[in-house]
Structure 1
Amino acid sequence: MDQTRWVGMSLFLMLLLQFAAARKFFGPIVAVGDEVTLSCENGMDDPDPCEGVIWFFVSPRNQGQTLFEDKQIRAKPDRLSVTENCSLVIKNIQRDDVGRYDCGHFRSGKLHGEDTVTVLHVVTMTEQQKDDEVTLVCSVSAYSSNCYHTVSWRYGETDVGATRSSCSATVAIFTPSRLRPKYSELLKCKVTPSDSETAHLFPFIRP
């Protein structure tokens, strides 16, 4: 990599790491185990659209990592891939995939156009059993330290009684063990971003 290009990319990465953490972030909401495709809007007018494209990841702890560069996957090769139009595909989503994803297209060491920014949120559901009680917890891991989502549990068409905390909801079911699968399979975690009236429903799946 020549020095001019390296300097341009370094400035790009520094700007990403300094991005204001207090800003509200909204983006795809996916559950652990799902697959998601993040689009990249730059470079589409080139004969080889992925030439000069970099995918960069910033975690909630402000730690950066290059995912794709020089047309090669640089991290998590077992779960990451890039399509012909430079979209980033993440398979088998994990909680540590939460963060900000930036796609930048470089020409002669300079960022061409604006970078494409996507912030990914991940839903995690857990189950705890004790005697005739099962407790289900649904939580949303977000890039920002603040929670901008409302989380609850949905049973059929009704929001069932649940305790709400920061991006988390808990529901307890008192029922014999033989009936637990019936009830838990009908429950869905309901996540509603504060910038939208559209709720996302995630069925409970045992790990």
Structure 2
Amino acid sequence: MPEHYLSLKEVTDVFISSGESVSLSCNDALHQCSSTTWNYSNYTTSSTVEVFAGGINKNNTERSERLSLTSDCSLNIYKTTQHDGGRYTCRQYVNGSHHGPDSRVNLHVLHVSSSSSSSQTEIRANTSVTLSCQLFTYDCDHEFSYYGFQLVWMNQTDVDLQTDSRYQIRSDKLCLISLTTTLVNEDDNTELRCVLKHKNDIKTSVTYTVRFTDSNKI
């Protein structure tokens, strides 16, 4: 069996909504970030990227500006996006040799996008809008089918919008649920919330607020 399976210390699941910042723990025993490597992998692309090695940021993309290490070698991600969802592995070395068990963190990022141009959009009443809520994670099929997660659209009083005929809720594939409705003047400042549930527990949620300008009310 490969070494990284034999040496795995634990797996931690972290659930957040896009835009939030997060710190992923290395469970560091050495407290020497110069001996620490963080890897990121994504099941969809089947690729592994080294984001930190020897305490140095190795990610030469725009998101490298949002990544940093803390004094205990935890990985900080500032203002997460949907592209940050995936599996992170912290590994430490002493004199070039693998030291101790790896720490693995599965980061699950919940993100809402709109058929309009912006997330907190100013749109016209009496027009249709579709909101798509998706969980970005390492392996969506496994997470949902094995662990029994569920995505639900709710209003600001925590009523499941599946029961309201004004809203058309569709979930054609795992980790994705959409809501379509025609907005009216009374919807101004209405909050629509996408919730990730595991049994009776809420893991995280994203709130979309409908905003009209006076010129867009008719």
Report the TM-score range of the alignment, normalised by the length of the smaller protein.
0.7 to 0.9
Q: Deviations over 1:34-56 (max 9, x none)?
A: 2111001123xx4x532311111
- Structural RMSD (CA): 2.5
> Using a 3 Å threshold, how does the CA distance of structure 1 residues 189 and 134 change in structure 2: closer, same or farther?
same
Q: 1:164 aligns with which of 164, 171, 174?
A: 171
The code of the aligned residue for 1:159 comes to D
Post-superposition, which runs of at least 4 consecutive aligned residues in structure 1 deviate over 4 A?
Answer: none
How does the TM-score come out when normalised to structure 2?
Answer: 0.72
Does 2:38 match 1:34? no
> Using a 3 Å threshold, how does the CA distance of structure 1 residues 39 and 205 change in structure 2: closer, same or farther?
farther
Deviation at 1:145, TM superposition (A): 4.4
Does 2:80 match 1:67? no
The code of the aligned residue for 1:173 comes to T
> Using a 3 Å threshold, how does the CA distance of structure 1 residues 90 and 205 change in structure 2: closer, same or farther?
farther
Partners of 2:38 and 2:112 lie apart in 1 by 29
The code of the aligned residue for 1:50 comes to C
Q: In the alignment, what sits opposite 2:194?
A: 189
* Counterpart secondary structure, 1:114: strand
Partners of 2:12 and 2:154 lie apart in 1 by 22
> Using a 3 Å threshold, how does the CA distance of structure 1 residues 170 and 77 change in structure 2: closer, same or farther?
closer
Kept in 1: contact 2:108–2:137 (CA 8 A): yes
How does the TM-score come out when normalised to structure 1?
Answer: 0.75
Kept in 1: contact 2:17–2:205 (CA 8 A): no
Deviation at 1:104, TM superposition (A): 0.7
Which structure features the higher share of strand residues? 2
The code of the aligned residue for 2:139 comes to S
Deviation at 1:201, TM superposition (A): 2.3
Deviation at 1:132, TM superposition (A): 2.4
Q: How does 1:1-207 map to 2 (within 5 A)?
A: 15=4, 27-43=13-29, 46=30, 48-60=31-43, 61-75=45-59, 76-128=63-115, 132-146=127-141, 147-148=143-144, 149-155=149-155, 156-161=157-162, 162-165=169-172, 166-176=174-184, 178-183=185-190, 186-193=191-198, 197-199=200-202, 200-204=204-208
Q: Paired residues, what number?
A: 178
* Counterpart secondary structure, 2:13: coil
Kept in 2: contact 1:191–1:201 (CA 8 A): yes
Partners of 1:83 and 1:35 lie apart in 2 by 13
Gaps of 5+ in 2: 6-10, 117-123, 163-168, 211-218
Q: Deviations over 1:99-122 (max 9, x none)?
A: 110001111222221111001122
> Using a 3 Å threshold, how does the CA distance of structure 1 residues 99 and 189 change in structure 2: closer, same or farther?
same
Partners of 2:208 and 2:114 lie apart in 1 by 9
